Structure 1
Amino acid sequence: LSAALDIGTTFSGYAYSFKGREKDIEGCKNWGANVSVCNHKTPTAVLVNKDGKFEAFGYEAQERYKSLEEDELQMYSLYERFKMQLKHTEKLNRDSMSMALDQRSFPLMDIFTMTIRYLKDHLLKSVNRGHGRSVDSEKIRWVITVPAIWSGAAKQFMREAASKAGVRDINRPMQLIIALEPEVAGLYVASKYQTSGTSSRETDAFRPGLEYVVMDCGGGTIDITSYKIQPNQTLNQIYEATGSSFGGTKVDDAFVEFLSQIAGLDVVSTIRQESPIDWLQLMITFDHKKKTIQNKESDKLNIEIPYSMHEIAWEVTGRKLSDIVNNQRIPGVKCNKRMLIIDHDIIQDLFRNPVQEIVNHMKKLMRLPQLKNVSTILMVGGFSESPILQAAVKEAFGKRVKVLIPDDASLCVLHGAVAFGHNPNIVSSRVSRMTYGQGVMVTYDPEKHEADKQRAEVIESIERQTNMMLIYVKRGEVIKVGQVKEFTSFPVRVNQTQIDHEMYCTEKSDVGYVDEEGVEHVGSWTTPLEGKGLDREIKVRVFFGETELVVQTRQIGMGDKEWVQRSFDFLSS
């Protein structure tokens, strides 16, 4: 069984299929049925009680929170949009905290663990209910999707949360694969059209030899990767993954700023603090409407205003909310007792910045020589379903390339992850986003190191040049999946009992020292040493072609011991 979990910024879900019936992908299709909604995904929302115990997830979490009485609010906290903290939290570690709607904090690792455990349990119940039997846990390959632009620390964070949630056996690391969202989405769509058996505009876009770009436009991020289809139907990545934080939630941010302008910052701040349930409902309503609003001048956006907002406006300003808004005489904006009515021009303003940022980012990419042969742009992800974003991308690039938006754009990542679980080797090469290397000391050489003499240090009577960077892979370097790079390390002290390997990365292609500007420490691992002396040789194997870094080490001359796989620690505090 290949079982995929897609934890999005705003919505999450799962899907699965059995070996031998790979294309018969199943999942939950009726999320929200108890609240008269029927979706393939559910909101990424976790309800936690005052004791830190899990209460509910998704639509159920939101509905239970909205139904709380005022004296019950202190008993629960609702956590949403916590996924983006894995990208934006500086020095992400196991103690990083998440902030709830009521401004209370809770360990981020626990929030992710609760999310993964809930989706895992729901999936297993679905399999049992739909097929009348449970599945041996050892025969399940789990796939969790992440943005391609995420750091090693963020990927490790997800892996550790998954392990805590019981998704994998710690002794079977390949039971869980971390998959890259735009990559698996592109795989799914390409495979779907390649096997359709008909000749069409879409099928022709995914013939061997052709190149395409995947724009994964989600709630939190836009994630972009590019591939060339090989004769054997595998994919070669042709340029490093790029992206930004201009996902669909940036439109939400623009709406909040717009409300603050027309109703007053004090009114908006107060309703968020004093009536978080009504604020949640307001934003849920806007989120639903922003995905369906058409790119037509005649379209208006009608947003129902919670009663508490009228009360708060009167308490804060002594004026009716409708008077505050209407007396400003802003063209295209009206307010009455029930609705805030926004004309098309204002709607376009809300979308303008995030959409323009996405288009500008794509324009820079499409000018690169590496992408000169791209013939198709594939739009996937929930935000790709927005007609306004679709129109902007087609206007910018439609004359040069085909712009394709699958009917199931919001499910491409999830379904692609299931397929990837069955065949992780479908991608034959990837392009490194960063330059990676290890900090090392070498014997000081005046001819090589004189200009950087200040880094020299005498250790056990030997002068060594410190902080040098042994480069494993350079930014932009193409690495074949399964390709192995081998390096050698030696101790610098006779009685040294272990080698502490420190991993660094930088956006620069060429770097000499780990303390140069722009070089960041990203992780570490340790290799135990046997014996004594400076001639003890440690071989290091680095596998860079996978979605995550893999390292193996072995001490030479100790009976040719087997290679030992080492775990990076990207989350050191």
Structure 2
Amino acid sequence: VVVAIDFGTTFSGYAFSFVRDPENILMMRKWEGGDPGVINQKTPTIILLEPHGKFHSFGFTARDAYNDLDPKDAASWLYFDKFKMVLHHQSELTKDTMIAASNGMMFPALNIFAYALKFLKDHALQELSDQSGFEIVNEDIRWVITVPAIWKAPAKQFMRQAAYSASLVSSDSPDKLLIALEPEAASIYCRKLKMHQLIPEYPIQRPLQSPKHARPEQIDTSDACNIDAGKYNMQHIDHNFCERTRYMVVDCGGGTVDITVHELNLDGKLVELHKATGGPYGAVGVDIEFEKLLCCIFGKEFIINYKQRYPVGWVNLMANFESRKRSANPTKPSSSNISLPFSFIDYHKKHRGRQVESMVKKHGDKDVRWSAQGMLRLSPEAMKLLFIPTIDKIKQAIGDVINHPNARRLKYMFLVGGFAESPIVQHEIRKEFDSNKKHIVKVLIPQAVSLAILKGAVMYGLDPTVVNVRRSRLTYGIGVLNRFDTEKHPQSKLVTRDDKEWCTDVFEKFVVTDEPVALGDVVLKSYTPAVSGQNKSIINIYCSEDENVQFITDIGVMKCGTLTLDLSENDIDVLPYRREIQILMCFGDTEIKVSAQDISTGQVVRSTIDFLNK
């Protein structure tokens, strides 16, 4: 069985497929809680811990339980929401990184992620056993966890470490867990889409017919990437499909936006043409703009104090806004009414001595009013303005990729991810890149836009070789000594060892930024331990966005990990004086992997790369 977990910033879920029936991908749809009458294919990425740090609940259950707590009790409970972004923003990520709960209390990030993964693991095992009719155990499963492609190696290793802590797999059998890149997973799913699985650009007009005389509707099962880029009206199909089709995938999630460019190869495999790019331009950006609006109306100091004193009220307020944010539509003229909690209205009157309504009027914006029903009323234009700063960043990121030489001859853009469900996002992206006035690339949006990553991750788990060429996001290398060359080395780097002149701090590159690396390709390096007979060799690994980096002291170079070689198991007495260790590093997978061999004995040397203890 392959089980894929989409661990999102705002929502999480899982899907699975039995290896004997790989075409049938099953979604989890029975989450407890949620809105009545709605089939929830994902649950909020929310964790609630008891005051002493014991796990209480996850998802809708956590949200509802927190809302039901007495305000005095809630102050001591630990509520975590949208905590995944810590891994993106934390520049010095380690196993000891802490994150803040809604009440300001700090808790180990690794424990929080492990709690979430353990909950999803237990839920999946129970669901699999219920559906199959016999008990499914953890050893029967290959797990796949999705992560943003723009994450750096430490964040990916952090997720793997959390999976070990949650007992998804053992650290002794790491191959049973795959890390899938979110836009890559979406691309794997999108390449097989049919026309009827896309959201049409305009609603399809169908005449009213008597059921007696109605004809069965023909389902268009043509490949989505077959369509004529200029005639997307669900009728015209370009049948001269070339396997070398190039397309972009824009994954708009809750926290980040990931962009990748793929080419469908002749053998059905995918080749990455442009390194994964993007940034923190997800749906959370709209929440930030809404909070800024509240600060403008009611004062920044009041909002900060309210969040600290009434964390449950703040959660309720943002949940109310979330439902309006998801339903906002540029084609519908109705305004959005956002309910403010009683604690907000009451605290404002006591703290500021004025009614909430008077502050809204004083703000003086005709598009932001206080409704007769006692709600904050945003016009469609006001709601759209909350989206624009984030959407502008997404447009800029897409434009930068389209203008890159590696992305020439692009035909299609697939828009996926939870944030891409927003009609405002869909409308603005289509207007910018695929309108009558400005046709740059054909924008295609799957029907199950928020589930594309999850389904693609299952496909990736069934065939991890489907993407056989990737582009390196960074330049990776180590610091070495080279023979000093007066013509190219600065005098400040000159050191003398054994009467020989050397250049220190030289950045020896393994792979450079945007370099294509095929699956299975390795970088081979040989090293000699500095001291004969040493039991352990530790080599620091550095990274930089600059492909022309020269020294590990250059601006922008970061120490990103350590390579540890365990040399203790060999019989030192029989080894030559100049001992050679050959290191093979693989950059063609979603994670950097390493193996090493002692050339003098032929034995494999235990080796690990640690990006979390730098």
TM-score by length of 1: 0.95
1:193 Cα deviation after fit: 3.1
Paired residue total: 569
> Where does residue 507 of structure 1 map in the other structure?
545
Matches within 5 A, 1:161-200: 161-193=162-194, 200=222
Post-superposition Cα deviations, 1:525-551, rounded to whole Å, max 9, x if no partner, equal 211345377621111111110000011
When residues 570 and 16 of structure 1 are mapped into structure 2, their CA distance, relative to the original with a 3 A threshold, is: same
Written as runs of structure 1 = structure 2, the 5 A alignment for 1:531-570 is 531=572, 535-558=578-601, 560-561=602-603, 563-564=604-605, 566-570=607-611
Equivalent residue in structure 1 for 2:274, among 235, 239, 244: 239
Aligned to 2:420: 384
Matches within 5 A, 1:191-270: 191-193=192-194, 200=222, 202-204=224-226, 208-270=243-305
Q: 1:338 — aligned with what?
A: 374
Residue 352 of structure 2 is aligned to residue 317 of structure 1: yes
Shift of 1:269: 2.1
Superposition deviation, residue 402 in structure 1: 1.1
Deviations 1:51-71 (A, max 9, x none): 111000000001100100123
Distance 1:274 1:464, change over 3 A: same
The aligned residue for residue 446 of structure 2 is 406
Instruction: Map 1:340-489; keep pairs closer than 5 Å.
Output: 340-398=376-434, 399-442=439-482, 444-447=483-486, 451-459=489-497, 463-489=501-527
Q: More displaced, 17-26 or 542-551?
A: 17-26
The equivalent of 1:122 in structure 2 is: 123
Q: CA 1:244/1:325 → structure 2, altered by over 3 Å: closer, same or farther?
A: same
Aligned residue number for residue 47 of structure 1: 48
In the aligned structure 1, how far is the partner of 2:25 from the partner of 2:223?
25
Q: Structure 1 residues 210, 203: closer, same or farther in 2, change over 3 A?
A: closer
The equivalent of 2:324 in structure 1 is 289
Distance 1:517 1:360 in 2: 26
Instruction: Tell me the distance in 1 between the aligned counterparts of 2:182 and 2:379.
Output: 35
1:493 paired with 2:493, answer no
SS at match of 1:192: coil
Q: Is the 8 A contact 1:297 1:345 kept in 2?
A: no
CA shift digits 1:243-279 (9 cap, x unpaired): 1101000000000110111122233223212221121
Q: Structure 1 residues 299 and 200 mapped into 2: Cα distance closer, same or farther (>3 Å)?
A: farther
SS at match of 2:390: helix
Q: Distance in 2 between matches of 1:130 and 1:565?
A: 41
Structure 1 stretch 80-89 or stretch 336-345: which is displaced more?
336-345
Instruction: Tell me, yes or no, if the aligned pair for 2:3 and 2:143 is still in contact at 8 Å.
Output: yes
Q: Distance in 1 between matches of 2:35 and 2:325?
A: 20
Counterpart for residue 69 of structure 1: 70
Q: Which moved more, 1:521-530 or 1:28-37?
A: 28-37
**Cα displacement (A) at 1:77:** 1.1
With over 3 angstroms needed to count, the CA separation of the structure-2 counterparts of 1:171 and 1:281, relative to structure 1, is: same
**Secondary structure of 2:551 counterpart:** coil
List runs of 5+ in structure 2 lacking aligned partners.
Answer: 198-218, 228-240
Instruction: Write the deviation string for residues 130-182 of structure 1: whole angstroms up to 9, x where unpaired.
Output: 11112243331100000000010000000000001011122211100000000
**Partners of 1:486 and 1:284 in 2: how far apart?**
52
User: 2:430 is aligned with what amino acid?
Assistant: K
Aligned residue identity for 2:49: V
- The answer for the alignment partner of 1:31 in structure 2 is 31
Q: Partner of 1:20 in structure 2?
A: 20
Alignment check: 8 A CA contact 2:254 2:283 kept: yes
Distance 1:240 1:228 in 2: 13
Question: In 2, distance between residues paired with 1:447 and 1:533?
Answer: 34
The Cα offsets for residues 181-203 of structure 1, whole Å up to 9 and x where unpaired, read as 00001111212339999554724
* AA of the residue aligned to 1:413: I
Change (3 A) 1:232 1:282: same
Structure 2 residue identity aligned to 1:474? V
1:327 corresponds to 2:362: yes
Find the aligned partners of 1:257 and 1:520 in 2 and give their Cα distance: 34
Q: Secondary structure at 1:409's aligned position in 2?
A: coil
Q: Are the structure 2 counterparts of residues 508 and 72 from structure 1 closer, same or farther at C-alpha, using a change threshold of 3 Å? A: same
The CA deviation at 1:454 is 2.9
- 1:304–1:338 CA contact under 8 A, matched in 2: yes
Structure 1 equivalent of residue 8 of structure 2: 8
Q: Which amino acid aligns with 1:72?
A: D
SS in 2 for 1:87: helix
8 Å CA contact retained: 1:183, 1:225: yes
Secondary structure of 1:568 counterpart: strand
**CA distance, structure 2, for counterparts of residue 157 and residue 77 of structure 1:** 22
Distance 1:35 1:213 in 2: 34
Alignment partners' CA distance in 2, 1:109 and 1:390: 35
* In structure 1, distance between residues paired with 2:579 and 2:368: 75
Counterpart position of 2:211: none
SS at match of 1:39: coil
Displacement of 1:445 after TM fit? 3.5
Q: 1:34 to 1:334 in 2, by over 3 A?
A: closer
Match of 1:96?
97
Contact 2:33 2:61 in 1 (8 A): no
In the alignment, structure 1 residue 280 sits paired with structure 2 residue 310: no
Matched residue SS, 2:461: helix
| Partners of 1:32 and 1:407 in 2: CA distance | 24
103-112 or 269-278, larger mean C-alpha shift: 269-278
Shift of 1:220: 0.3
CA contact (8 A) 1:459 1:492 kept: no
Can you list the C-alpha shifts for 1:338-359, whole angstroms capped at 9, x where unaligned? 2111111211211110011111
Q: TM-score, normalised by structure 2?
A: 0.89
Distance 1:199 1:122 in 2: 35
Distance 1:353 1:296 in 2: 20
For 1:554 and 1:90, the matched residues in 2 are separated by 33
Give the whole-Å Cα distance in 2 for the aligned partners of 1:400 and 1:569.
Answer: 43
User: Do structure 1's residue 571 and structure 2's residue 609 form an aligned pair?
Assistant: no
Query: Gaps spanning 5+ residues in structure 1: where?
Result: none
Distance 1:34 1:296 in 2: 27
Query: How has the CA–CA distance of structure 1 residues 375 and 565 changed in structure 2, closer, same or farther, with 3 Å as cutoff?
Result: farther
- Cα distance in structure 1, aligned partners of 2:63 and 2:543: 40
1:208 offset after TM fit, Å?
Answer: 1.4
SS in 2 for 1:567: strand
Partner SS for 2:451: helix
**Post-superposition shift, 1:458?**
4.1
Determine the C-alpha separation between the residues in 1 that align with 2:346 and 2:566: 66
Instruction: Output the CA distance in 1 between the equivalents of 2:319 and 2:328.
Output: 15
CA distance in 1, matches of 2:223, 2:526: 51
Partners of 2:128 and 2:326 lie apart in 1 by: 31
1:225 Cα shift? 0.5
Structure-2 separation of matches of 1:273 and 1:181: 34
Task: Determine the C-alpha separation between the residues in 2 that align with 1:394 and 1:170.
Answer: 45
**Matches of 2:28 and 2:93, distance apart in 1:** 32
CA contact (8 A) 2:476 2:510 kept: yes
Answer yes or no: is the 8 Å Cα contact 2:19–2:462 preserved in 1. yes
Over 3 Å counting, the alpha-carbon distance change for 1:194 and 1:167 in structure 2 is farther
CA–CA distance in 1 between the matches of 2:184 and 2:474? 18
Question: Which amino acid in structure 2 is aligned with residue 566 of structure 1?
Answer: S
Q: How far off its partner does 1:411 sit?
A: 0.8
Letter of the 2:189 partner, please give it. Answer: Y
